[in-house]
Each structure stands twice: as C-alpha cells, then as structure tokens.
A and B are shown apart, each in its own frame.
Chain A
Amino acid sequence: MKILAIDTSTHVMGVALAEDNKLLGEYVTNFKKNHSLRLMPAIHELLKELDIKPQDLDAIAVAKGPGSYTGVRIGVTTAKSMAWALNIPVYGVSSLKVLARNGTYFSGVICPFIDARRGQVYTGLYKMGAEHQIKTIISDHIVAMEDWLHYIKEKNEPVLFLSQDYDLHHSLISESLADQAVVGNGMDMLPKPSVLLSLAFEQEKPISAHALVPEYTQRTEAEKKWLEKKEGKTDA
C-alpha cells in the first residue's frame, strides 16, 4: 500500500511517500515561498526519484487544516483532485494533530498551535495513548491565546507546546504558565509529512475525494459580519 502525503497548511511545505508503514522519501522546506508554484514540482521530483508512477499510489493523505486558508486549499485541492483522478481514497488529517504527534513520548497533554494573527491561535489539546495512538482531548478551534492559556492553566498538568510560531507567543506562555509549560525541542516543532503518513496508517479512515474539504475552524469575515448584522436585527 503506497501513500503520498502532502502538507502545505503553513509555510512549511512537506511531501512524503511511504509503502506499508515504511517511509520511502520525504521532502520538507521551511521558508516562505509560494506553495502553489512549488508543490507539484516537489511531488513530481519525489515520485521520479522513487521511480513510482502516480498510478501506483493507493491513497493520498493531506493536512486539511487549520492553517493558512490559501495554503490549506492548495494542499487539499491537489490531494483531492489527484485522488479523484486516480480513483483512490484520501485521508484528511488535522494539521495540528500532525504537529502534536511529534510529542510521542510526552506523558502530559500536548498543545500544538499555529498563529492566526491578532493574538489568536489555531489550537487543540492532544494526548498520547497506548501504542502511540494519539487522542484528541479538545478539538481544533481558533481562540485568543490569552483565553486559551487561562483555560490550560486550570488543567494543572504539564503541557507540551509544539509550534513553528512559538516565539510569537513565548512571553505570554511563560508569564501565564511558568513551569507548567514544556517547550518542544528543535525538529519536534516542525510538522513533518512522514508523521502525517504515520497518522494515516495508524488511525484515520479514508474518505472519497469529493468529500474532502478544508478545516478552516471559522467562517469568512464577510459571513461573520453578515450574521452579526442579521442577529442584531432580530434582537432589536
């Protein structure tokens, strides 16, 4: 069983390919450059190196968000279109779960997050269970970091933070949580497509390509304003 994994949900771009739980190749870049331009050449190169044809693939796994709207769409559109064209299923995996899975050997709760601007983050809470099964404690959502840390503090147990955007929130985290906060180390802060593959193999259910949609965790600004206005009117 050959699975191709794609993650373009943040400025980290990852492509990997595994056969029956054995990683055959992984390509990761961590700098700000256009995913739309670079994703397909990366897939092309990796498959060529491995001498694997698109027709040889059995499934495609993709980080479905949350993250950059455009980034997530590039990955999801590529994954679902290729899977549909090849008549194979897709695995849509939470981008945050991919990050959280880097905390394999941590016994407390794991908090992956992606900066969502204006003091907000996309985040959730995860915990490792038996046999490296990762469990979702609080599902992915968007929240003000300040409120989120307040909530975490009340849990009174060590929390491992994993994020490429850690520095942006570093002072707030240490102020709020002090010793309760454990900070991820080096490469554990990086979302890896090989980990996305592990998750797909371990515990995700594949779905049909048509059914795959991004997980944005929030409505568009226009919709939010429209709903507010509408509710304001009904209240009055």
Chain B
Amino acid sequence: MNIEKEQIKDDEIILAIETSCDETAAAVIQGGSSILSNVVASQIESHQRFGGVVPELASRHHTENITWVVEEALTDAGVIFADLDAVAVTAGPGLVGALLVGVNAAKAIAFAHGLPLLPVHHIAGHIQAARLERPWHYPALALVVSGGHTELVLLKDEGEYEVIGQTRDDAAGEAYDKVARSLNLSYPGGPQIDKLAREGETIIPFPIAWLEEGSYDFSFSGLKSAVINKLHNAKQKGEVFRKEDVAASFQRSVIEVLTEKTKRAAAQYGVKQVVVVGGVAANKGLRQSMKDIFSNTEVELTIPPLALCTDNAAMIGAAAHIQWKKNIQADWNLNGKADLALF
C-alpha cells in the first residue's frame, strides 16, 4: 500500500511490540509522542537465579505472555483494533528466539486486521524514547548505553542515524554486570553498583580506555579485567577493599569516558541537543555527570525517565512514527534478526 506523503496523517495510533531481550512489552502511541499505554512484563525474577538472561527461557516466557501484554496495552489505552493505524515491532537486534515471538505476533495481529506492519530497530527505539519527552532539535547526538550497546549516534535530521562511535568489546552495561558478579552482587548488578558508588570514594586508580586521538569508540573489557584482577590480587594478599570504594572507582572510570566523549562529539558536530538513553541511562551517577557538563551550555540535554530508558515498547512506537511518516512498511516475510544495522 503506497500512500501519497501529503496524505499521511501525523496523529496516527500505533500498537508497538518489543520482545528483543527479557521484557515482554506492548504500548499504544499516538503521533509518535503521546503515550496512551505502556505495558512491560519483566522476566527479571525468572532469570535472576541464573545470574543473567537465559535466551530459551526468555523466548518461552514471551510466548506465554505476549497476548496478555498486548491486550493490556489496548485496554489501558482504551482503544480497539479499529482505532489502530499500524502495528510496529522490534525486528532486531537482540536475542533471535526472543525477537521471533514479537515479530510473529505483530505479523499475525497486523494481518488479522489488515494493518500496515512497521519494522523498528531496537536502538532507534531507545534513541526515539527522547521524543516522548520533548521534540528533537537537530543536529542532535544520542548516547545509547545498555547491557548490549554503547554507541554514540549523530542525528543530522529526523530518523537519520549515523553511528560515530561504538564499543569495541563489552558494552558498558555488560561491564557493570561482570564487575557486580565479582563483587558477589546479585543480577542485575548495574543498579547495585550505582547505589554502592554513592557511598564510596574513588580511591582505586582504575584505567580509562581513551583509545586513539579523536576516536569516539569505547572499550570496557580492560577496565572490567582490571577490577577483577585487583579484587583477586587483594584477596591473595589479604588486602581488603570496601565494596563501595570499588564500585565508586569503577563507575568513575566508566562515566568519565562516556561523558567526556559525548562532550567532545557534541562540540565537534555542533549539536543542539544531546540525549542519553538505554538501560545504563538509569544510572544516577551518569545522569548527574551529564547534567554537570551540559547544564550551563547551549546544548539541550534530554534523559528520559527510567521507565523509558530500560527496554519498553513505547520507545518502539515513538520510533515507528518516523517509519509511518516515511511509509516504510515490512512485508509478511519480516523476520527477527540478531544483528541488524541501525535504520
């Protein structure tokens, strides 16, 4: 179905579905910015005992929960199928088995009601969570930090994503989880390290990977190993570090490189707006550090509330607004992909 661009309304109502990792999520979004409903069924309790997400278990839970979650999203929004203009779904990247549940559910629902199917990239979703807060000012820069991603993305215009930097090894959130494990903190460890860090002092000198001059890439595996080695050596020598100090020192190294590279990129590209999104954007230390850097500048800083930073479907609905306006539809052969270039 090709509709003339002028005819496409911009207060469309989209049902969005997200199942790329361990949250079964559905939301109803109007006009790309108004949240009519946002339902997230978290599986954290089920995966906690394993110290991380078990992909097969995540897929199983998605299959059990999917229609309940979508139904709740429609009920909360007070809409019926006839009110919907499109169905959007995360097509990747993520756990392939988990993605498949959302993709096949979205296809079935769209097919049943003759609705357009809009494919959404998970990272575009995280970035567009900012649109749920306030309108974009271009050029803009997005820092995406989560358990699976650490990327600096330049947006010259609406929906135009250019990755200018990314992690060469671990994602920031991954480093948090691994360090948390070596401190015997339960999964997910990120929020606990953040909390401990506030009670600790940055007295342990951990490395910061700046990489080559001018690079906006990141690397966290060296830092992660340094922390693990430090703890291991200390144990052998009978030395004791306070968990709070380890957390604070580790977190300082992560935050410093994230904020500094964001600051440099913002200056180089002359951006009007910086957004920080993804699960690690829930980190209070990172939020504060970003505020400190950008508060007295011309650059507008947007960090969506926690519930929109962690995986959710409202952000997918927000990103789908751009697909809707550009009339980018998927065919019935849409598939979930573990690796997918940002679009």
Contact = CB atoms under 8 A, between A and B. Distances in A.
B333 A216 contact: no
A175 B60 CA distance: 38
Interface string A182-197: 0000000000000000
Interface string B87-105: 0000000000100110111
B332 A77 contact: no
Interface stretch (A103-111, A135-143, A219-227): A219-227
A210 B67 contact: yes
Given A40-B111, A81-B104, A84-B67, A69 B336 contact: no
B104 A39 contact: yes
Contact of A78 (B70, B71, B104, B334): B104
A78 B107 CA distance: 8
Interface string B102-135: 0111111101111000000000000000000000
B49 A81 contact: no
A36 interface: yes
B63 A220 contact: no
A50 to B, nearest CB: 15
Interface stretch (B50-58, B197-205, B257-265): B50-58
Contacts of A41: 331-333
Interface residues of A, number: 35
B67 A73 contact: no
Contact of A40 (B59, B60, B62, B333): B333
A73 B57 contact: no
Contacts of B327: none
Q: How large is the interface on B (under 10, 10 to 19, 20 to 34, 35 or more residues)?
A: 35 or more
A214 B113 CA distance: 25
B56 A220 contact: yes
A79 B100 CA distance: 14
A11 to B, nearest CB: 16
Contacts of A81: 66-67, 70, 104-106, 108-109, 112
Contacts of B60: 73, 214, 216, 220
Nearest to A223: B57
Interface in A53-100: 54-55, 69-70, 73-74, 76-82, 84-86
A86 B109 CA distance: 8
Given A85-B81, A210-B68, A43 B111 contact: yes
B49 A226 contact: yes
A213 interface: yes
Given A38-B333, A81-B67, A213-B64, A70 B100 contact: yes
Given A84-B67, A220-B56, A73 B108 contact: no
- Max count, chain A CB within 10 A of own CB: residue among B64, B100, B111: B111
A86 B113 CA distance: 8
Interface of A is mostly: helix
B186 interface: no
A44 B111 contact: yes
A80 B108 CA distance: 9
Nearest to A86: B112
A44 B57 contact: no
Nearest to A34: B335
Interface string A9-38: 000000000000000000000000010111
A121 interface: no
A212 to B, nearest CB: 9
Nearest to B65: A210
A43 B107 CA distance: 11
Interface string A207-236: 001100110100011110010000000000
Contacts of B112: 54-55, 81-82, 85-86
B97 A73 contact: yes
Given A36-B103, A40-B332, 15 more contacts: A36-B100, A36-B104, A38-B333, A40-B104, A54-B113, A77-B104, A77-B105, A81-B70, A81-B104, A81-B112, A85-B112, A210-B67, A220-B57, A223-B54, A223-B57
20 contacts: A36-B100, A37-B333, A40-B111, A41-B331, A41-B332, A43-B332, A69-B56, A73-B97, A73-B104, A76-B63, A77-B100, A78-B104, A78-B108, A84-B109, A85-B108, A86-B112, A210-B68, A220-B57, A222-B57, A226-B49
Nearest 10 pairs of A and B residues by beta carbon: A81-B108, A85-B112, A82-B108, A40-B332, A81-B105, A84-B67, A222-B54, A220-B56, A77-B104, A85-B109
